[in-house]
Amino acid sequence: MYCLNSVDIDTAVWFLPLSRNEAVEAIKKAYAVAQEYARKIGGRLEVIQPRHIYGEAADKFGYSLQLGRITVNLPPAAVLVVWGFYNADEYLDFVRFIQDGRVYEWFVEPIAYYPERVGVWAEEPLVFRNVLYIDVHTTSGEERDRTYGWPLGYYISPLQPPPEVKPPRRPRGGGPPRREGGGRS
């Protein structure tokens, strides 16, 4: 088990290898959370895929993370539930998830040394909506644009987009609305 405990972030993170029973329970819990969101929004539940993170640029990186900052623009009513991390890169040292001023920093380097290379976060899964930033950092001195790690979790998208909210109609001419019957009083 690996712990991250830092004063400049919001939470401590405990990673477990996939082989631990607690890891299986954490994944089941995250799946139940994702199912509940899917039920609430009438949505489809999928595993996180490159198109969910990168949008139109998904083919460029595939299941690897771009180094630096990634901006994830989730569609209206979509939800991202993250329960763990895959790391096959011994130089990938940390990933930050940033949303609404909250920072979740995961030191993921030790996961590269687990036999299955999967670390499961033992706390509540992270749930993101709207705009999310992912900062990816490596200690490698090589010039490269990506690292071989990937967040694990679920993406929930509504089957139908939410209805567009239209502003109330204003009366023509800018005056007060007309009375019934259109006559004078």
Per-residue pLDDT tens digits for 59-106: 999 999 999 999 999 999 999 999 999 999 999 999 999 999 999 999
Instruction: Give percent above pLDDT 90 in the chain.
Output: 69
Three-state SS for 57?
Answer: helix
Those residues whose C-beta lies under 8 Å from the C-beta of residue 119, and which sit 6 or more positions away, are 2, 15, 16, 17, 18, 84, 85, 87, 108, 110, 111
Using 50, 70 and 90 to split pLDDT, how confident is the model at 174?
Answer: low
Those residues whose C-beta lies under 8 Å from the C-beta of residue 143, and which sit 6 or more positions away, are none
Domain boundaries, the chain: 2-159
The count of other CB atoms within 10 Å of the CB of residue 172 is 8
Q: Which residues pair with residue 99 across a beta bridge? A: 102
Q: What does the DSSP assignment read for 16-40?
A: EETTSHHHHHHHHHHHHHHHHHHHH
pLDDT value of position 159: 83
CA–CA gap between residue 104 and residue 118 (Å, rounded): 18
Both tokens of 107, joined, read: 């030191």
CA–CA gap between residue 92 and residue 66 (Å, rounded): 11
Cβ proximity of 45 and 163 under 8 Å? no
